[in-house]
Structure formats: structure tokens, C-alpha cells
Structure 1
Amino acid sequence: MPLSSIEHKALASLDEQGLIKALRDLVRIPSATGQEAAAQNWLAQQMRHFGLDVDLWDIDVAELQRHPQFPGMEVDRSKDRAVGLVATWRREAGAASGRRLVFNGHIDVVPEGDRASWQYEPWGADLVDGRIYGRGACDMKGGLMAALFAIKAIKDSSVPIDGSLMVQSVIGEEDGGIGTFASLLRGHRGNAAIVCEPTRLNLIPAQAGALTFTVRVPGKSAHACVRLEGVSAIEKYLDIHRTLIQLERERNSEVEHPLLGKLPLPYPLSIGRVQAGNWSSSVPEELIFEGRIGVAMGEASDAVRRQFERTLLNLAEEDPWLRDHPQEIKWSGGQFESGEIPLHHPLVKLCQQCMVDLTSHEPVLQGAPYGSDLRLLVNFGGIPAVLFGPGDVRVAHMPDEHTESSQVILAARAYILAALRFL
């Protein structure tokens, strides 16, 4: 549809250079999960400078952990502040009428890893050939800043709106979602939400879940020269690993979901860390492995846990050592349920039309095989939500993570249209 004069005015007010500069400034502030306070404080200053109503608060993590629907976390938050941040803007200060559109973006990032693997400085925010390089540039500071500058553009344009806009800068998404969880509990809600995850500006209304687990496999130590006197926890794990690979095959054999069913592996079961032994010439008496198992669309997380535990128990029943020396299973870290809204939900159609009007191309509807804060907004908050943001998840969490500056700007333009049309 043709853009209205109001839409043209708001789009013309977008500070594209300011957006890219601010994004690079934010990327330069390290904000690994559990260490987000400095970045949150910096961003709160920017929000106040833009004239938004800012709520910056210390999250009581211990209190959150007592909640029956606590989403889990992996990092130790006993030493650093957990800071919540939400900014709201409405044309008339204090007005509470009209609808509210929420933009949700996480400011926490995964660690940079081995710097020798990076061509560019992980916290340098180098701008090279239209790409901004750095940890979090793609996942997902680009989308977060695009949302903030979209609200700023609407505010600066002085176009009339009936309702309010909110941006939630949340922590702890990478290991469970405590930032969004805390924001919802604090009352920061709306009628719909756009989660600015890197989707290449395609639309993801459905995301699978993922449950993190830690398993201890017992063995029996002995000197390597008489290793038959011991029981190697590593050898026991090899059987476990093969069994879990088979479980993954079974769980992905007949996926009928219209979006997730198109993926080559919609519900991965992955082992991410294995640690065993304490001496090179000793039979390892213990092995600990950690990983995640995917949760199918509409599947209860408890059912997945029971299937996983039953699979390992059945294996142990066939092994004399494991039968008498049980494995220890803990559901540690993030516990992501699946979440979705209908493919033809008005929010999906709205974002589709915005992209068509800006680019003449309709974005692809996709399903995500990973957990995100969408499920908290939909399942816990009762807020329709869609993943829709700049960047390609295939370069997230990798050396030389990057995002296209042009796509960040296009995302901000799409958010401007979505906000005006939603309200």
C-alpha cells in the first residue's frame, strides 16, 4: 500500500547516522551474560536524552528464582548487578489510552571466545564495507538500537499517535530470559511485541524450546597399568552418546509443524561440553556432560524431561555398572519452552505488509529451532509476539560476528511503519 504523509514524515525523521554510531558505541561496551550493568546504564542515559520515560532498576534474582515459572539461568549473578531497563514513550505524558506496542531486545551477549580466531577486535565495532563487526552486533544489539531509534524518529517527527511505544532492553536472554521475565513481572506489558532477534528481517512466529541439562556419569578409578580393575566413565559415556543420537533421530523423524517441519533438524539434541578425568594415567572415575534438548512445538517441557531421563534409565538397566551406580541428571541453566502465534495473526500480517511497502518483497515465514524470549511474552505474558530483526543468526556467536548497517537501518524503518500502523 502507498505510504501516507504521516509515515513519510516519520521515516524522514530517522537519524540513520546517529543509529549506526550509537550501535557501534554499544557494541564497544562488553556485556556478556551476567555482566550487563555497564551497557544497561549507558543505554538508559541515551533513552533519557531522547526524552523517553525510563525505568532502570536492580532485579532481585533471588526473588525471581523462587517464582514457580522461573525460566532458569546458567551464569553466577552473585557478584554483579542484574539491571532491568524499560523505556516508554507516548505523545502526551501521563496519558494511558490507546494500544501499546513493545519492542523487546536483549543486551547480553555470549563471550567472545578465542580472540585469535577473530580478524576484527571483538569489542571494536569496526565498520568495514558496510558491516559492523563485534560481539553482539548481530545478536542482538543491532535490532535493539533499531527499535530505539524508530521510537525516537516517531517522537521527533511530532506525528500524531494514539497509544504508546515501549522498548525493553533485557538481560540474561542467552541463558534463560530473566530480563524479560522480570520486566513482565514488573508490569511492563503491551498489546503486542516485536522481538528484534536476527532473522534477516524475515518473520518467525514460532520458536522451538530448549532445555539445558547436566549429567554426571560415575566410574571407578584405577591405575592405567591395571585399567581393567577400574571402570572408565568415558567408555560408559560413549554408549550414552550413541543412545542420545538415536533419541534425537526419533524426536525429529515425523515433524508435521508447517514451519518447523521444513527445517533439516528442528529439535536438536546437542552435547556442548564434556569433562572427565583428573590424571592422564588414571582411569577416569567421573564424567560430566552438558547439553540441550529441543522441545517440540506444543510439547510440554516436563514430557521432554521424562523422555530424556527414561532413555538414560533404560540404558542403565542394560549395563551392570550403571544399574548399580546411577547417573545424576540435573536440569540446569535455561529452560526454554516452545512458543508461537498463528501464522496468519494480525501482527504477522502487519510486519509482512510493512516490509512489502518498503522493499516490494514479502518476507519469508520461518520457524526457529532455538529458544527465545518470544515464549515468555506469549506463554507467560499473554502478549502476541513475533521475531523480526536485522542480522543473520548464522554469524551470531561466531568469530567476526557482524551485521549489515543497511539492514539495521531498514529494520528501523520497518519498526517505524509497524508502530504507526499498530497504534
Structure 2
Amino acid sequence: MALTAIEQKVLDSLDEDGLLASVRELLRLPSRTGQEAEAQHWLARRMRDFGLSVDEWTIDVAELRRQASFPGMEVDRSEREAVGLVGTWQGGSEAGRRLIFNGHIDVVPEGDRTQWTHDPWGGEQEGDLIYGRGACDMKGGLIAALYAIKAIKDSGVALPGSLMLQSVIGEEDGGLGTFASLMRGHSGDAAIVCEPTDLDVVPAQAGALTFLVHVSGKSAHACMRLEGVSAVEKYLDIHLALLQLERVRNSDVTHPLLGKFDLPYPLNIGRVQAGNWSSSVPDELLFEGRIGVAMGESCQAVREQFEQTLHTLAETDPWLRDHPLTVTWTGGQFESGEIPHDHPLVQSCAGCIQEVTGHAPTIKGITAGTDLRQLVNLGQIPALLLGPGDVRVAHMPDEHVRVSELLTAARTYILIALRFLQANP
């Protein structure tokens, strides 16, 4: 499908220099999860400068946590401002379809700065690369969507319907911002989540749950080790049982997109802490981890299978039978989420990418949890992931995004928006 004169006019209206400058400026504002307020206020000002209708509000986290569908979180927000932000551009007519662009402004901590060769908060550009924490995941995609909306507005093209940009907080630890936006009534007929996908189309994401397990032992002097019960030794059997659980859960995955992965639903132990003295038998061990949620599987079913695995092991061990393991489900609780890989939104977005880049994108699934599942499952909004950047460099030292991909993403978003709004419902 060739570009129309109107589409070409809007593409020519894209402020490329402004887009790149804004990405770099936003990267200079540290917005670690739980500390996003300054960046949200900056983006709200930018939205207003561009003529968008802006809803900027203080999220009542305590109230939302009382909701049964609350997605969970890890950071303590009791003394931190939680800012919701949605900017809307209304086309020439209030009638028509509503398209959402959704992106999270929170980023993970920068980690050991000595491993960075570029300032994680510098927004430095070197050739085709812009460096900084969040460049890939996902301030680049967020700003590309903003400038796509700006280009449509600046072009003067009258369109039915509206475009919305949801800048959300707390995605990295559960999805507070998208949940708050949905609870506030911000909805649409379709959504593009601007996560880094290498500009491939992702209509399916697995889920993930995080857990904390407490293992009890019995302390004794190391010289009389047999008088105690080592929580570390008990954990070794637990770890083997969980590896077997992972094998069972990944033994026969037939999903057309997730089944292509070697390990679509990983079970990972991320942290283990035990004992309090090198010459004492450890009487306590805590381990934390993450278990994948299969496509279409309920979070409750995963929790029950995990806990039953531990219970079955404990029944074979006299010590663990009398000193039960305790399991706490902590942090973000990500369901799986998907729309059919042949959904009209998927096909339309794939066609727009091919129009802009000259080649067809891959339609794929991912094994990580995202806000897609809230838009689809809770909001009943068809949604997919599509954005600039390689997720393999996200959360890493020298995180970066390509200038060329940022511009391609913005052009793609423009085309998607124009064709979605002009199409018949």
C-alpha cells in the first residue's frame, strides 16, 4: 500500500531534531522506579507546550492497593509522589476511534557506575547511538510516540477520533501507572506499548511472579555441625526440586509464538541469603526468585503448583515436615497477555513497518511481563508491543538506542495512527 499525500505530509512534519534533543534531555532526569515525579512533570510541560490536553494527577496508591486487581509493587512509595500522566490530542471530530500509545518513564537503577563508559544520566550521543539508563527501556519509545502525535497535530490534518499518550510509572515493579490510568477511565479502542522490540511486532507476552521463601534450620557450633540442621543443605534439595518443576512447566509448550523459545517460562532464583556467622550452622535461609506464567495460565494456578512442589518435598523430609517452609508472593504479579497473532491490529502495524522500512517485521512473543497484559486483560483493549531498541541492552551498563531506530519508530507510529483513525471501525 503506497503512501498517500496526507501520510507523506505528516511524515514530513516530524521534528527529528526536537525528538532527539528531547530524548537526551529526558535521559538526564533520573527516574528510577519510585522516583519518577520530576520526569513526569517535565513531560507534562512538554505535552502542554505541544497543545495536548493533559491529565496530570497524584495517584492514590493506598486506595489502588485495596483493589483486587492491583498488579503489585516492590518499592516503598509512602513518602514519594506518584504522578499519573496522560496527554490527549483530539482530531477534527470527536467521533471516531481512540488509539493509545503507552510507555513507562521509570527505569531500573544504573548499578555499578564503573562498568559504564558513558554517564548513565548524561544522555550522550556518539554517532548513531544515544546512551543512558532508559534510552532503550523505554524513554526512547515514549518520546518517539510523543513526537509522532506532535507531527500529526502540526500537519494540520483533520482526522476523526483521538490519540492518547500514557506516560506511566512503576512498570518495572508491577505496573502501577498503567493500572492507575485504567482506573481513572483512560481507555481506547487499541493500544501500542512502545517497549523495545527491534521494531518487531509482539502481540503476546508471558507472565511472571516473584516470590520469597523462608527455610528454617537449627543452629549449632561449626565444630559440632551434626548437632545442628543446616538451612543451606535443606535448600540444596529445594533447588533441585524447583529445577525439576521448571523442566515440567517447559516440557510441552505448543503456543505458536512462545513455543519457539528454548525456555519460555523460566524459574530463576535471583538471591539467596543464609546464616549469620561463619562458625555457626545456618539456622535460616531466604531465597527470592521469579517464576514464569504460561500463556492463558492463571497466576493462582502457578502459585498453587509452586507451593505444592515445596509441600511435596517437605513431606519426604522429617525436618521440613515439622518446620514448614513459608512462601510470600512479593512485588509485581504479571499475568500473561495476548491478542491473536493474526489480529487486524497486528496485521496493520506489520504493514506500516514494512511501508516505512522496506521489510516485513517478525511477529513474535516475549517471555517477560509488561503492561500489555493490563491493557488486554483488565482494560479489554487490543494491544501489542512495538518500539525502538534491542531489549538485550536494557538494564545493562551503557544502555543505548539507535538514532535511526528512534526516527523509524516515530514514522511508524505516525503511519499506524493515521491509518487506524481513518479506518472504519
- Report TM bin, short chain: over 0.9
Deviations 1:22-43 (A, max 9, x none): 0011111111111111110111
1:188 aligns with 2:186: yes
| Deviation for aligned residue 1:91 | 2.9
Equivalent of 1:220, from 215, 218, 221?
218
- Residue equivalent to 1:250: 248
How many residues matched? 421
> For the residues of structure 2 that align with 1:33 and 1:371, how far apart are their CA atoms?
16
- Residue equivalent to 1:39: 39
Equivalent of 1:288, from 286, 293, 302?
286
Equivalent of 1:327, from 325, 333, 336?
325
Equivalent of 1:392, from 375, 390, 393?
390
- Equivalent residues of 2:357, 2:408 under 8 A apart: no
Deviations 1:361-393 (A, max 9, x none): 010011110100000000000000000000011
Equivalent of 1:349, from 344, 347, 350?
347
Greater CA drift, 405-414 or 282-291:
282-291
Q: How does 1:3-402 map to 2 (within 5 A)?
A: 3-92=3-92, 96-402=94-400
| Deviation for aligned residue 1:8 | 0.5
> For the residues of structure 2 that align with 1:295 and 1:362, how far apart are their CA atoms?
29
> For the residues of structure 2 that align with 1:344 and 1:142, how far apart are their CA atoms?
27
Task: Report the RMSD for the aligned CA atoms in angstroms.
Answer: 0.9
| Deviation for aligned residue 1:136 | 0.5
Deviations 1:251-300 (A, max 9, x none): 11110000000011110111111111122222211111111100110111
> For the residues of structure 2 that align with 1:275 and 1:146, how far apart are their CA atoms?
42
Three-state SS of the structure 1 residue aligned to 2:196 is: coil
- Counterpart of 1:44, as a letter, is A
Three-state SS of the structure 1 residue aligned to 2:374 is: helix
| Deviation for aligned residue 1:160 | 1.6
| Deviation for aligned residue 1:199 | 0.2
> For the residues of structure 2 that align with 1:99 and 1:241, how far apart are their CA atoms?
50
> For the residues of structure 2 that align with 1:39 and 1:371, how far apart are their CA atoms?
24
Taking structure 2 as the reference length, the TM-score comes to 0.98
Structure 1 residues not aligned, in runs of 5+: none
- Counterpart of 1:32, as a letter, is R
- Counterpart of 1:23, as a letter, is V
- Counterpart of 1:84, as a letter, is G
Greater CA drift, 25-34 or 218-227:
218-227
Three-state SS of the structure 2 residue aligned to 1:332 is: strand
Three-state SS of the structure 1 residue aligned to 2:110 is: coil
| Deviation for aligned residue 1:59 | 0.5
> For the residues of structure 2 that align with 1:376 and 1:91, how far apart are their CA atoms?
26
Deviations 1:186-212 (A, max 9, x none): 010100000000000000100000011
- Counterpart of 2:44, as a letter, is A
| Deviation for aligned residue 1:98 | 1.0
Q: How does 1:403-418 map to 2 (within 5 A)?
A: 403-418=401-416
Taking structure 1 as the reference length, the TM-score comes to 0.98
> For the residues of structure 2 that align with 1:218 and 1:303, how far apart are their CA atoms?
26
- Counterpart of 1:219, as a letter, is G
Structure 2 residues not aligned, in runs of 5+: none
- Counterpart of 2:224, as a letter, is V
> For the residues of structure 2 that align with 1:47 and 1:198, how far apart are their CA atoms?
22
- Counterpart of 1:416, as a letter, is I
| Deviation for aligned residue 1:356 | 1.0
- Counterpart of 2:56, as a letter, is L
| Deviation for aligned residue 1:232 | 1.3
- Equivalent residues of 2:94, 2:160 under 8 A apart: no
> For the residues of structure 2 that align with 1:231 and 1:57, how far apart are their CA atoms?
53
Runs of 4+ residues deviating >3 angstroms: none
Three-state SS of the structure 1 residue aligned to 2:209 is: strand
| Deviation for aligned residue 1:96 | 3.1
> For the residues of structure 2 that align with 1:187 and 1:258, how far apart are their CA atoms?
33
> For the residues of structure 2 that align with 1:86 and 1:50, how far apart are their CA atoms?
13
